[in-house]
Amino acid sequence: MIEFSGIGHAFDGRTVLRDVSLTLGERRIGIVGANGSGKSTLARMINGLVVPDSGTVTVDGLDVARNKRAVRRNVGFIFSDPDRQIIMPTVREDIELSLTRIESDKVARRERALAVLERFGLGDHADHPAQRLSGGQKQLLALASILVTEPKVIVADEPTTLLDLRNSRMLRQVFAGLDEQLVVLTHDLDLVDDFDRVLVMEEGRVVVDDGPGPALARYREMMS
């Protein structure tokens, strides 16, 4: 359960979030909205990457600002720019690094890394330099390295921006099969059209909060 309570935030004196209060308990939640409407800022508060100027954010009852480390163990954050997330020289090592926290056995780590790479269509690239992957392959690697650790909550910021149609569809299926709570920020409206709940943001506020059908229809109207 994620709870935003009376959130306000400004960057350099410019307000970007205004009095946002929300309880997110559904399994799959989409957040859409115009560029600059505050989606990423709000999502980054879920794992303490941004601390709100006013109000509180809690995850399973833990105040994020005061318990960043504990919260981050349970919240996997997938950045829109995969270069921010890829650390190790090879593709397999990058996944293995993510696994060190939850799997102490080296051989088991390797097996799990290879299995997840196979699942994400990167099996043939396991020993390739991670930085030489294409943009979309890097995005898949960044996703795989978070999903493999099975965090309780996954926050994905524009996860399909670099993906081709086949991989976007594959990701949609991966998301459909996840047991974890998922919060996805996206401009790809098809990605969230079967989610449980969709929020539409405008100028730092949540202006629509509904099922995907009515919420996306309203958003399309707003953007036309």
Ligand X SMILES: Nc1ncnc2c1ncn2[C@@H]1O[C@H](COP(=O)(O)OP(=O)(O)OP(=O)(O)O)[C@@H](O)[C@H]1O
Query: Can you give the binding site for ligand X, defined by CB under 6 A?
Result: 11-12, 16, 33, 35-41
CB of 200 to ligand X, least distance (A): 11
Between 31 and 95, whose beta carbon lies closer to ligand X?
31
CB of 53 to ligand X, least distance (A): 12
- In the structure encoding, which two tokens stand for residue 153, read together? 């909550």
CB of 11 to ligand X, least distance (A): 3
Closest CA to 211 of 30, 25, 21, 19: 30
Closest CA to 116 of 146, 88, 86: 146
Classified as helix, coil or strand, 44 is: helix
Between 11 and 89, whose beta carbon lies closer to ligand X?
11
Between 35 and 224, whose beta carbon lies closer to ligand X?
35
CB of 47 to ligand X, least distance (A): 15
CB 199 within 8 A of CB 21: no
Between 12 and 221, whose beta carbon lies closer to ligand X?
12
Strand partners, 102: none
C-alpha distances out from residue 158 to 14, 113, 124, 162, Å? 24, 24, 25, 9
Between 39 and 109, whose beta carbon lies closer to ligand X?
39
CB of 44 to ligand X, least distance (A): 8
Strand boundaries in the chain, DSSP class E: 2-11, 14-24, 28-33, 54-59, 62-63, 75-78, 153-157, 181-185, 197-202, 205-210
